[in-house]
Structure formats: structure tokens, C-alpha cells
Amino acid sequence: MPSWKKYARIVLPHIGLILLSILYIFGGALAFYQLERPNEIQVRKMNLQKIDHYRKYMLNELWIMVNDNSTSDEEVERLTMVHLDRVTRLLFDAFDTHFITSSHLNEFANDDECTWTLTTALFFTTTLLTTIGYGNLVPVTVNGRMFCIAYALFGVPLILITVADIGKFLSENIVWLYTRLVCIPFSTYLNIRNHISHQKKKREFFKITFFKKLVLNLLFKKLSQTN
């Protein structure tokens, strides 16, 4: 079997699992975008109309009170505070749950500016499946919430399996690289050093043996001459 086929069989399952997870995340983002964006536009439009209607009503009431000489200053102040309190509550609810920001209250506001975009939907699905869940963006429609439960039920295990697979793949390759780059060179160095040390000992042994033989030969010669 060619080497590239061998490596392909090792790498392709990991790549396939990663691609499946990416497609699942992008598919979920598109689904949430389609489920939540129309509701956001509708809710924001209704509440902007409600705010505009109450603003006109408040201005009309205040104008009538100011021009009515029979109304005391205390009564004007009291009714003004009542209207301001209602407007404050209305705006707070609009900013909190009705997808309205300060830019939408502008006369020249861009109606296409939405909280649910493809980018934010992708961010939501990523944080959902990785179990981070910042909570700054959540589905509010019934269909969106039901889909979110089913989507997370299958998506979270898929992402966990993918992360575990990536971790296992990285750990195995890091160990392999460590073995290749550190252990094998160090082992080779030890073998070379041991070989050199062995050769030195061998040469010293031969020198000592040769010296002993030389001394013994000289002694034998001297003894033979004396005899």
C-alpha cells in the first residue's frame, strides 16, 4: 500500500468528523436565523408603533394640560411624572425583550438592523454546542426553543466526540513527534557514547595486555640469560 494511502486512512476519519461538526453548526445557525429573525422584525415593528403611539399621546396630554389654565402646577407635575414613568417602563421593556435599541428610535433608523443575523446565529450555535452559553442571545419563539432542545440533544454529544477525537489525535502525534525529535536522538547519542566508551576500554585493555606480554617476555629473556 502506498504511503499516502496509509496516511489518508489515518487522517480522513478525523477530517470527516470535523467537517460534519462544522456543517452541523452552520446548518443550525441557518435554521435559527430563519426561525427567529421574522419574529424579531415583527415584534420590533409592533413595539415601535406602540412607543410612537404613546409618545404622541403623551405630548398631546401634556400640551392640553399646559394650555388649560384651570390645571394647577402640582397636577401638571404629577401627571408629567406619571407619563415619564410609563415611558420609562415601556422603553425598558422594549430594550430588554423586544429587540429595540436606541438606534431604532431614531427617525432615520435602519429597519434591517437585527439582533439575529447569520453571524450572531453562528455565534449562538457555537456557544450552545460547546456548552458555554453566554445567554446574551436566546431563541424566544416556541418553534425556536423546541428546535434548540432537539438541536442541542444531538449536537452537544457530536461536538464532545469531535473534541475528544481531536485531543486524542493531537496527543498521539505529539507523543510521536516527541519520540522522533527527542527520544530517538537521545537514545542514539547514548548508544554512540556507550560505543565510544566501549572502544576506549577495549583499546586500554589491549594496551594493558600488550604491556603485560612485553614485560613477561622481557622477564623470561632475562631469566633465560641468567640460567
- Of the pLDDT bands very low, low, confident and very high (cuts 50, 70, 90), residue 155 is very high
pLDDT digits (tens, 9 = 90+) for 100-134: 666 666 655 555 678 888 999 999 999 999 888 78
Segment holding 124, helix H or strand E: helix 118-129
**Of the candidate ranges 54-68, 148-162, 165-179, 189-203, the one whose mean pLDDT is the lowest:** 189-203
Contact 129, 152 (CB under 8 A): yes
**Distant-in-sequence contacts of 100-105, Cβ < 8 A, 24+ apart:** 100/44, 100/47, 100/48, 100/51, 104/44, 104/48, 105/48, 105/51
Confidence band (pLDDT; 50, 70, 90) for 64? confident
Question: What pLDDT, on the 0 to 100 scale, is given for residue 151?
Answer: 95
pLDDT of res. 114 = 81
Residues 167/141, Cβ–Cβ less than 8 Å: no
- Amino acid identity of 194? N
Contact in structure between 28 and 151 (CB atoms under 8 Å): yes
Nearest to 143 by CA among 60, 34, 25, 1: 34
Angle at which helices 118-129 and 142-178 cross, to 10°: 60
Say what the pLDDT of residue 77 is. Answer: 78
pTM of this prediction exceeds 0.75: no
> How much is the pLDDT for 81?
84
Straight-line distance from the first to the last Cα atom of the chain, in angstroms, rounded to the nearest whole number:
80
Per-residue pLDDT at 198 exceeds 90 = no
Higher pLDDT, 167 or 176: 167
